[in-house]
C-alpha cells in the first residue's frame, strides 16, 4: 500500500453510497450501467470525492485521441502482476465515470484510469497520479488541427511541474510538445502512422522536417527527443537494449505501439517487460472492440474507428482481399453530426474488398466511395450486409454509435 491509508470520511462514505444508489436506480430504469449518473450524484455531495478515492492508490492516467481504452486495459492487465487494480474498463472517461469506477475499488493498490483529452489536466490535479501515459493527438470528429494544437497547449500548462512520471510517444510532435513541460518524461518511440495533423511545429508554427523516423523544426530547433523505449517491428526495445517479443491477440500496428507504451509504464512500477507482455497476451477484446462474433454463419470481426487516424490504422490491420468489409457510419451526438471527415480518409486502401455500407449516413459514405472509384453495395441493415457477403471472416468497421448499434444487433 502506498500513500494515505486513512479511511474515507463519513461525508465521502455517504457520497459513495448515494452514488451507488443512484446508479442502481438508473440501471433499474434500463439506462445502462448507471456509472455516470452515480458518479455525478456522488460528486455533487462531495466535490473532492475523486481525490479522496484516489488517495490510497497509485494512479496511472492514460490519454490520447486513439487507443486510450485499449492501452488502459493493457496497463491494468500488466500491473495486476504487482497488485490489485481498479480501472474504468468500460471507457466512462470523464470525472463522473472515473469517480464511479474508483468507488468500486477500495481494496486496490493501483488505479488505472482512461481520461478524456479535455479533462486530463483537471483529473491530474485531483488525483495526484504517479504516472501519466500520453499516446497521440490528432483531430477527432470535427476538430481541426488548430484545436488539437490548443489541446496540446492545455496539457503542457496542466502538466508543468507534475510529480508524475510522464510516459510519452516521442514520434508524435504534439505529444512531445505537451509532455516537455513535465520534469520527468520517459520517451517511447511508438510510431505515428497519421501525420496530417503534425506538419507544423507546435512551438513556433514552422514546417516540420520529417526524414525517415526522425522529425525536427528547422526554424526553432524543437526536435524529437531520444527515446529510451521503442517499438521495433514485433519487439519492444527496453532502455538496456534488450528486445522483447510482442505476442498480442489484438491485431495491428497501433496495438503493438500500445503494448510498447504499456511495457514502459509497467517498468515504472517494477514489473519487468517479459512479465508485462505475457499478461497483455491475455487481452482478447476491449469493450467489444476486436471481438469476433458468430452471426448468420459468418465470423464478424468488430472494429471501431472514430476519426481519420483511427480509420487509417484500422485499414492496415484487416485481412487482405477478397475478405468482405462492412462500413457503418452514423452522425449522432457522440460521433459529431458533420460527416465532412469522410473526405479526409483514404478509402482507396479498400480496393479489391467487396464493400457493403450501412448506418444512418450510408449515403454520405456512398458518395465518398463513388468519388474514390470503389465498388460497393448500400444495405438497409447489418443483417442484409452480412447475408450479401461470402461466408467466412467479415471485417466490420464502424464509428462510435454505429458500433454500439451493431453490437446490440449481433448480441455482443
Binding flag, residue 215, Zn ion (CB under 5 A): no
Binding flag, residue 209, Zn ion (CB under 5 A): no
Stretch that binds Zn ion, among 68-76, 82-90, 209-217, 341-349 (CB under 5 A): 209-217
- Does 220 show up as a binding residue in the annotation? yes
For Zn ion, the closer of residues 55 and 209 by Cβ is 209
Given 219, 234, 278, 291, the residue binding Zn ion (CB under 5 A): 219
Looking only at the bridges linking them, the beta strands covering 85-87 and 110-114 are parallel
The least distance separating Zn ion from the CB of residue 174, rounded to whole angstroms, comes to: 13
Supply the DSSP symbol for 293.
E
For Zn ion, the closer of residues 222 and 403 by Cβ is 222
Binding flag, residue 160, Zn ion (CB under 5 A): no
Give the residue from 349, 296, 307, 345 showing the smallest Cα distance to 325: 349
Given 15, 74, 98, 201, the residue binding Zn ion (CB under 5 A): 201
Binding flag, residue 288, Zn ion (CB under 5 A): no
Report whether the peptide linkage leading into residue 304 is cis, meaning its omega lies within 30 degrees of zero: no
For Zn ion, the closer of residues 46 and 171 by Cβ is 171
Given 217, 265, 283, 398, the residue binding Zn ion (CB under 5 A): 217
Cell numbers that stand for 58 in this block = 497509485
Cα 48 to Cα 53: distance, rounded to the nearest angstrom = 9
For Zn ion, the closer of residues 208 and 248 by Cβ is 208
For Zn ion, the closer of residues 206 and 272 by Cβ is 206
Cα 138 to Cα 185: distance, rounded to the nearest angstrom = 21
- CA 338 centroid distance within chain: 22
Q: Which residue has the cell 522536417?
A: 209
The least distance separating Zn ion from the CB of residue 140, rounded to whole angstroms, comes to: 24
Q: How many residues form the binding site for Zn ion (CB under 5 A)?
A: 8
Q: Segment 221-280, which members bind Zn ion (CB under 5 A)?
A: 222
Cα 354 to Cα 95: distance, rounded to the nearest angstrom = 42
Stretch that binds Zn ion, among 84-92, 196-204, 243-251, 296-304 (CB under 5 A): 196-204
Stretch that binds Zn ion, among 45-53, 216-224, 245-253, 365-373 (CB under 5 A): 216-224
Q: What angle do CA 69, 74, 79 make, to 5 degrees?
A: 125
The catalytic position among 338, 360, 375, 383 is: 338
- Does 379 show up as a binding residue in the annotation? no
Given 160, 220, 282, 351, the residue binding Zn ion (CB under 5 A): 220
- CA 293 centroid distance within chain: 22
Give the residue from 173, 102, 97, 104 showing the smallest Cα distance to 134: 173
Give the residue from 380, 373, 378 showing the smallest Cα distance to 363: 378
Q: Is 338 a catalytic residue?
A: yes
Q: Does residue 50 contact residue 99 with C-beta atoms inside 8 Å?
A: yes
CB-facing half-sphere around the CA of 331: CA atoms within 13 A: 14
The least distance separating Zn ion from the CB of residue 224, rounded to whole angstroms, comes to: 12
Q: Does residue 159 contact residue 131 with C-beta atoms inside 8 Å?
A: no
The least distance separating Zn ion from the CB of residue 220, rounded to whole angstroms, comes to: 3
For Zn ion, the closer of residues 53 and 217 by Cβ is 217
Residues linked to residue 209 through DSSP beta bridges, in sequence order? 216
3-state secondary structure of 207: strand
Region at 359 (left for phi over 0; alpha for psi -120 to 50; beta for the rest): left
Cα 16 to Cα 41: distance, rounded to the nearest angstrom = 9
Q: Which residues form the interface with Zn ion (CB under 5 A)?
A: 201, 203-204, 206, 217, 219-220, 222
> Binding site: which residues?
201, 204, 217, 220
User: What is the set of active-site residues?
Assistant: 338
> Binding site for Zn(2+): which residues?
201, 204, 217, 220
Amino acid at each position: 500500500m502506498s500513500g494515505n491509508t486513512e479511511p474515507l470520511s463519513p461525508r465521502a462514505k455517504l457520497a459513495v453510497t448515494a452514488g451507488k444508489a443512484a446508479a442502481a436506480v438508473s440501471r433499474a430504469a434500463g439506462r445502462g450501467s448507471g456509472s455516470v449518473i452515480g458518479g455525478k450524484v456522488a460528486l455533487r455531495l462531495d466535490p473532492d470525492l475523486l481525490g479522496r478515492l484516489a488517495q490510497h492508490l497509485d494512479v496511472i492516467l492514460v490519454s490520447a485521441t486513439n487507443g486510450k481504452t485499449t492501452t488502459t486495459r493493457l496497463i491494468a492487465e500488466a500491473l495486476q502482476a504487482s497488485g490489485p487494480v481498479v480501472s474504468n474498463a468500460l471507457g466512462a472517461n470523464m470525472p463522473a465515470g472515473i469517480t464511479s469506477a474508483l468507488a468500486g475499488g477500495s481494496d486496490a493498490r493501483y488505479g488505472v484510469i482512461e481520461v478524456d483529452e479535455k479533462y486530463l489536466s483537471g483529473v491530474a490535479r485531483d488525483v495526484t497520479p504517479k504516472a501519466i501515459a500520453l499516446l497521440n493527438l490528432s483531430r477527432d470528429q470535427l476538430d481541426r488541427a488548430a484545436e488539437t494544437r490548443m489541446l496540446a497547449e492545455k496539457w503542457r500548462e496542466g502538466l508543468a511541474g507534475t510529480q508524475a512520471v510522464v510516459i510519452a510517444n516521442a514520434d508524435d510532435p504534439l505529444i512531445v510538445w505537451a509532455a516537455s513541460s513535465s520534469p520527468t518524461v520517459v520517451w517511447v518511440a511508438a510510431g505515428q502512422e497519421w501525420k496530417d495533423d503534425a506538419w507544423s511545429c507546435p512551438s513556433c508554427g514552422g514546417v516540420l522536417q520529417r526524414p525517415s523516423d526522425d522529425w525536427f523544426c528547422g526554424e526553432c530547433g524543437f526536435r524529437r527527443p531520444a527515446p529510451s523505449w521503442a517499438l521495433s517491428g514485433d519487439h519492444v526495445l527496453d532502455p538496456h537494449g534488450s528486445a522483447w517479443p510482442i505476442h498480442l491477440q489484438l491485431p495491428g500496428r497501433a496495438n503493438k505501439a500500445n503494448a510498447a507504451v504499456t511495457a514502459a509504464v509497467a517498468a515504472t512500477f517494477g514489473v519487468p517487460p517479459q512479465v508485462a507482455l505475457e499478461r497483455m497476451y491475455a487481452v482478447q477484446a476491449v469493450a467489444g472492440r476486436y471481438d469476433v462474433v458468430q452471426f448468420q454463419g459468418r465470423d464478424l470481426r468488430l472494429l471501431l474507428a472514430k476519426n481519420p487516424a483511427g480509420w487509417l490504422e484500422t485499414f492496415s490491420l484487416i485481412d487482405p482481399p477478397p475478405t468482405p468489409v462492412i462500413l457503418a457510419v452514423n452522425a449522432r451526438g457522440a460521433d459529431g453530426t458533420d460527416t465532412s471527415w469522410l473526405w479526409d480518409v483514404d478509402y482507396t486502401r479498400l480496393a479489391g474488398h467487396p464493400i457493403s455500407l450501412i448506418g444512418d449516413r450510408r449515403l454520405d459514405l456512398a458518395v465518398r466511395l463513388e468519388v474514390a472509384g470503389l465498388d460497393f453495395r448500400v444495405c438497409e441493415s447489418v443483417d442484409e450486409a452480412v447475408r450479401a457477403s461470402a461466408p467466412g471472416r467479415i471485417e466490420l468497421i464502424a464509428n462510435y454509435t454505429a458500433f454500439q448499434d451493431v453490437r446490440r444487433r449481433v448480441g455482443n
